A = this chain, B = another copy of it.
Amino acid sequence: MVGKAIASKLVELAHEVRMGSRAAGNESAVAWAAEAGEGASTGTFADAAGFGEVVFNCTAGVASLDALNAAGDINLAGKLLIDVANPLDFSQGMPPSLSVCNTDSLGERIQRAFPATHVVKALNTVNCDVMVEPARVPGEHVVFVCGNDPEAKDEATRLLGEFGWPAERVLDLGDVTAARSTEMYLPLWLNLMGQLGTLHFNIELAREVGSVDRQEA
C-alpha cells in the first residue's frame, strides 16, 4: 500500500519507477504498473534497486532487511535510500509492538547493513495517503528526516518537496540514530488514529513565541 502510493506519485511526477518484489511478475506489482502507465515497470528487488537512482524502502519493517539483502548491496551502494518503514511486529496481536527500539532502530540497522548507502529515514510518521498528498491534512503539520549524510538529506527533502512538503515543514532531526525517535512515535500515532478516528492526521509544532530557532540563529 505504501509502495504503491509512493510509486504512483513518482510516476505522476514524471519519474521512471520500477517496483521491486520478492519474485519477478508479482501480480499486484504488474497490475500496478499496467494502471500507472508510462514510466512504471516491475522486477525483483534487485532489478528495482539496480534501476533506481533513488531507492524507497516501503517494505514491512520486520521484512526490510531481508528485502534489502535480496536487493543487494552492489545495487544500493552510493545511492540515497529513503526508508519509510516502521518495525511493527503484529506477531503478538494488536496493538503491534516494535521489533527494535530504544537503543537501536530499523533505520540504523539498515544503515549498518549497507554502509555504502545513504540512508535517510523519512515519512514514516504519517499514513501513505498523507505522505504523497500532505495538503489532504490542513495546517502546518510536519515530517522528519534523519541520516548521516547531509547531501542525502537535502536530496530527500527536495523529493519530499515534490510530494508537496514545503522545506520548512521537513525537520532535520540529525543523524540516523534519530530514527529511534520517529519509529518510537508509532505507538502514539496508533493511539491517535484510534482517538481521532482517521488515518489522515499529523502533528504540528507549537512553541513559545520568542524562543530561538537554531536554524535561524
Contact = CB atoms under 8 A, between A and B. Distances in A.
A8 B205 CA distance: 27
Interface string A31-60: 000000000000000000000000000000
Contacts of A136: 208
Interface string A171-192: 1111001101110110110111
How many copies, total?
Answer: 2
A55 B195 CA distance: 27
Most chain B CB within 10 A, of A98, A181, A203, A206, is at A206
Nearest to A136: B208
Contacts of A140: 206
A121 to B, nearest CB: 12
A187 B191 contact: no
A1 B208 CA distance: 19
Interface in A129-152: 136-141, 144
Contact of A178 (B182, B191, B212): B191
Given A103-B97, A137-B208, A185-B185, A172 B195 contact: yes
Nearest to A196: B207
Contacts of A137: 206-208
Contacts of A171: 192, 195
Given A98-B102, A181-B188, A184-B101, A206 B208 contact: no
Given A101-B184, A184-B184, A184-B185, A201 B197 contact: no
Given A139-B204, A181-B187, A184-B187, 13 more contacts: A98-B102, A101-B102, A102-B102, A138-B209, A173-B191, A181-B188, A184-B185, A185-B185, A185-B188, A197-B213, A201-B206, A203-B203, A203-B205
13 contacts: A101-B184, A137-B206, A137-B207, A137-B208, A138-B209, A174-B191, A178-B191, A192-B205, A196-B214, A197-B212, A198-B211, A202-B206, A203-B205
List the 7 closest pairs (A to B, CB-CB), nearest first: A198-B211, A139-B206, A200-B208, A201-B207, A181-B188, A197-B214, A181-B187
